[in-house]
Structure formats: C-alpha cells, structure tokens
C-alpha cells in the first residue's frame, strides 16, 4: 500500500463486552494538525493508543506512510512516532533531563550511553518549551503542568515525524496551553510534522487544528465518526449537537468561527 501520512481502515475495538470503536476510517495528511474531538468516553484515547500501537484493535489496520504498523519494527516506529499519554505519573526519582533523554532511546544502542549530541538535543528541547530551569529537578516533585511539558519534550526528543498528544492542554495554564498548541502547529508548518491530538475545547480545535475528527459514543451510531474534514466545516452546530447532545451558538470574529455555549 502506498500513501503518505496515516490511514486508518475499518478499525473496531471492544473492552470485554463494551464496544467502544466501530468502523473507523480516517485519513490524515502528512504535515497536518488534526484534532480528535468528542464527548468523554467516546473512544478518542483508545483510537490514539491504537495508532501508536500501545493497543491492538480487534479489527482494521493502521497504515503509517503506507506501511501496516503491525509489521513495523518497534524501534522504527518509535523513530517515526512520539506519543504523549494523558496525565502521567512516575514514582521513579529520575531528573527531568533523564526523562527527556529516554526519548533518545531509539537512537542509542542497547548497551551504549547517551552521546553529547543526545544531551544537546534534549537540552535544546527543554529550552524551546521554556523549562530549562527544571532540568535537574526530580520528575516526581514537579507540578502536573510541568510534567505535561516534560512528556511533550520527551516525545519531541524522539525526533518524530508524527506526534500524538492525548489532551495536551490538561493541567496547563492559559499561557502554556496557547504556547504548546502554537508550538505544535509551528512544528507542523516548519518541519512538516504531523500532529494528532485529542482535545476537549472546540475553540482550540478551530484555532489550532487544520482538520477535526468529530466522534460520538456508538449508542445507535454505525461508526463513532460523526464528521471529519476541515475544522471550519466540521464544527457546525448540527454536528456538535449530534456528537455531544448540546446546543451551541457559533459566531464569526475576525473571519474566524467562535463557539459559544448556548444558554436558553
Ligand atoms: N482498559 C480499559 N478497560 C475497560 N474499559 C476501558 C478501558 N479503557 C477505556 N475503557 C472504556 O472505553 C470507553 C472509551 O474510553 P476512552 O478513554 O478511549 O475515551 P475518551 O474519548 O478518550 O474519553 P475522555 O474524553 O473521557 O478521556 C470508556 O467507556 C472507557 O470507560
């Protein structure tokens, strides 16, 4: 199979008796920023875990640049794809710099130690994210928001072409939310990195994502995907009602759509 980017075909997944994903077919163009949006429990994280091969689907295939991810060597997959999980805790007292350096593992031989270049790359990323001052701190003692930034730094240290972020704005203050979202969109524009992130704020999706995959719980739907495509086109009041069962009002500001909760 050829084709650049990510192609998801016919993915389905159950946890025991609970059918979570059905009939997921989505294509993600290389270099685009894509948001997975939808209500709690609709399967966004499950889908992200399937794309990063942290979880195998019951059916369907994920292609990365035309290759079935199941057939890729784990080390090759981790050079191509960095993944940032939701809320991350660790009881190991590693320094922040050591945690970020683990992102270099795919490039370091099993019996080797990180090189000066690995160190330089890791320090550079800490600087980009504005957290150089945390380098020597223990990962266990930093705040939730700081941990989130460190896990993003770790994924970037992998030098990935594809970056998967599960709720990257959780725990972040307003400035860091905007900082992280503009940084990842900047990386997509400058380096052609493909970014997939799960989000809860529909305005973040409108502002920062090129495309949105709007999902709903299966309940009677044949597939979780309510609509997929350009953010502006997908984020309509009708689609939002179908996904979340709520009414919103959409206004235009500076030629951009803004979603307001509708209060009757
Ligand atoms: N390991 C698991 N075992 C059993 N059920 C699970 C497991 N992981 C997730 N689920 C269930 O699968 C459904 C989808 O979960 P998932 O975390 O993918 O949703 P989500 O859209 O990311 O939700 P949220 O927005 O709340 O993070 C939920 O009903 C959840 O309870």
Q: Other C-beta atoms within 10 Å of 115: how many?
A: 12
HSE of 165 in the Cβ direction (CA atoms, 13 Å)? 32
Mutate which of 14, 44, 55, 88 for ligand 1? The one with the most ligand atoms within 8 Å of its CB, which is: 44
Cβ(173)–Cβ(146) below 8 Å:
no
Which secondary structure element, helix H or strand E, spans residue 241, and what is its range? Answer: helix 237-244
Output the pLDDT for position 262.
Answer: 66
What is the total count of domains within the chain?
Answer: 1
**CATH label of the domain that carries residue 250:** 3.40.50.300
Q: Is 187 within a domain?
A: yes
Q: Is 57 within a domain?
A: yes
Q: Is 112 within a domain?
A: no
State in Å: Cα 45 to ligand 1 middle. 7
- Ligand 1 binding pocket (C-beta < 6 A) is 15, 18, 20, 38, 40-46, 198
pLDDT tens sequence for the chain (264 residues): 345 899 999 999 999 999 999 999 999 999 999 999 999 999 999 999 999 999 999 999 999 999 999 999 998 998 899 999 887 777 778 999 999 999 988 888 766 788 888 899 999 999 998 999 999 999 999 988 899 899 999 999 999 999 999 999 988 899 989 988 998 899 899 989 999 999 999 999 999 999 999 999 998 888 999 999 999 999 999 999 999 999 999 999 988 999 997 665
Output the pLDDT for position 234.
Answer: 97
Q: Is 1 within a domain?
A: no
Output the pLDDT for position 187.
Answer: 87
| Alpha-carbon span 126 to 113, nearest angstrom | 20
| Alpha-carbon span 163 to 33, nearest angstrom | 9
Radius of gyration of the chain (CA): 19
* Alpha-carbon distances of 22 from 3, 15, 27, 70, 243, rounded to whole Å: 23, 12, 16, 19, 15
Q: Is 49 within a domain?
A: yes
| Alpha-carbon span 28 to 34, nearest angstrom | 7
Which domain, by its residues, includes 199? 6-93+162-261
Q: Is 100 within a domain?
A: no
* Alpha-carbon distances of 54 from 16, 45, 77, 219, rounded to whole Å: 17, 11, 11, 25
Q: Is 108 within a domain?
A: no
Output the pLDDT for position 1.
Answer: 39
Looking at 88-168, list the stretches that DSSP marks H as alpha helix, in order from N- to C-terminal side. Answer: 96-101, 116-128, 144-157
Interface predicted TM-score (ipTM) over 0.85:
yes
Q: Is 242 within a domain?
A: yes
């Amino acid at each position: 199979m050829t084709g650049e980017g990510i192609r998801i075909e016919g993915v389905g997944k159950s946890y025991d008796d609970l059918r979570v994903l059905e009939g997921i077919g989505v294509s993600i163009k290389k270099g685009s920023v894509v948001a997975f949006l939808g209500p709690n429990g609709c399967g966004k994280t499950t889908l992200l875990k399937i794309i990063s091969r942290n979880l195998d689907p019951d059916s369907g295939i994920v292609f990365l640049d035309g290759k079935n991810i199941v057939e890729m060597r784990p080390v090759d997959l981790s050079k191509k794809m960095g993944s940032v999980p939701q809320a991350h805790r660790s009881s190991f007292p590693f320094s922040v710099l050591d945690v970020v350096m683990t992102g270099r593992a795919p490039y370091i031989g099993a019996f080797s130690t990180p090189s000066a270049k690995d160190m330089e790359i890791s320090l550079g990323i800490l600087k980009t994210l504005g957290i150089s001052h945390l380098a020597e701190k223990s990962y266990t003692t930093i705040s939730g928001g700081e941990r989130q930034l460190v896990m993003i730094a770790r994924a970037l240290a992998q030098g990935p072409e594809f970056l998967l972020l599960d709720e990257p704005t959780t725990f972040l203050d307003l400035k860091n939310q905007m900082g992280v979202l503009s940084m990842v969109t900047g990386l997509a524009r400058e380096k052609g990195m493909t970014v997939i992130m799960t989000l809860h704020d529909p305005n973040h999706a409108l502002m920062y994502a090129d495309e949105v995959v709007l999902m709903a719980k299966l309940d009677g739907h044949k597939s979780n995907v309510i609509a997929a495509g350009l953010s502006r086109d997908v984020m309509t009041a009708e689609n939002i009602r179908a996904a979340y069962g709520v009414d919103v009002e959409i206004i235009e500001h500076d030629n951009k759509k803004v979603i307001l909760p509708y209060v009757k």
